[in-house]
Amino acid sequence: MKFFVDTADIAEIRDLAATGLLDGVTTNPSLVAKTGRRFTDLVAEICDVVPGPVSAEVAATDFDTMLKEAHLLTRIADNVAVKVPLTPDGLKVCRSLTADGRMVNVTLCFSAAQAILAAKAGATFVSPFVGRLDDIGTDGMELIADIVAIYRQYPAFGTEVLVASVRHPMHVVEAARLGAQVATVPPAVLRQLFRHPLTDSGLDRFLDDWRKTGQTILPGAGDGR
């Protein structure tokens, strides 16, 4: 499974990219607004930090304006994935861009039927929002299971399932179990994946036992030299 981080905070992106675990970045207008940065400048900086796909979303809703915005975004860097809404005009833009070899992330997917349309339009990624479905009393992971199962029936579909609106580590684990190719995760949730109380207690015990030996591994460590 590929890990994308869902943020526009460049400091967070740099820190997580340093782990070597980051495969891409997703942004949206809400995340960009929090930074106070100029959108295109921020996208360019993120693309310099992360070589994988960086999703940058159009702001328009009509075909002509969306396509113009998309062409501007693709000129920022080769690894920009243009993010378009799952609407008729959005899918028209998707088809146009993918025909030119550009990456497209079709966002705001809430049904398997919509995911089929995104794949038919040639989307690179489709982004089902599991957390928002959970919020209205629907099991968001059931949608992931449906989309993955449908896509497996049609090898010609090259669209990857990008699980979005991830709220906790079990969303990531379940998405991986179901076979989704990508999860885009907020920085806080991505860091939670490292944690387990038995890891912490085990490390504390090992360090305590090591201190009792009075030894050091590096010459001069701990003796003031």
What is 64-107 written as a DSSP string?
Answer: HHHHHHHHHHHTT-TTEEEEEESSHHHHHHHHHHHHTT-EEEEE
Q: How far is 147 from 160, CA to CA, in rounded Å?
A: 10
Eight-state DSSP code of residue 138 = -
What tokens appear for 213 in the block? 């030996």
Eight-state DSSP code of residue 129 = B
Q: Strands 160-163, 24-26: parallel, antiparallel or unpaired by DSSP?
A: unpaired
Q: How far is 137 from 169, CA to CA, in rounded Å?
A: 19
Q: Which of 34, 68, 83, 92 is catalytic?
A: 83
What tokens appear for 16 in the block? 């997580």
Query: Alpha helices, DSSP H only, in the chain?
Result: 10-17, 29-35, 39-49, 63-74, 88-99, 112-120, 130-135, 140-152, 169-178, 187-192, 197-213
- Residue 83 falls in the annotated catalytic set: yes
Number of neighbours of residue 8 by Cβ within 10 angstroms: 25
Active site residues: 83
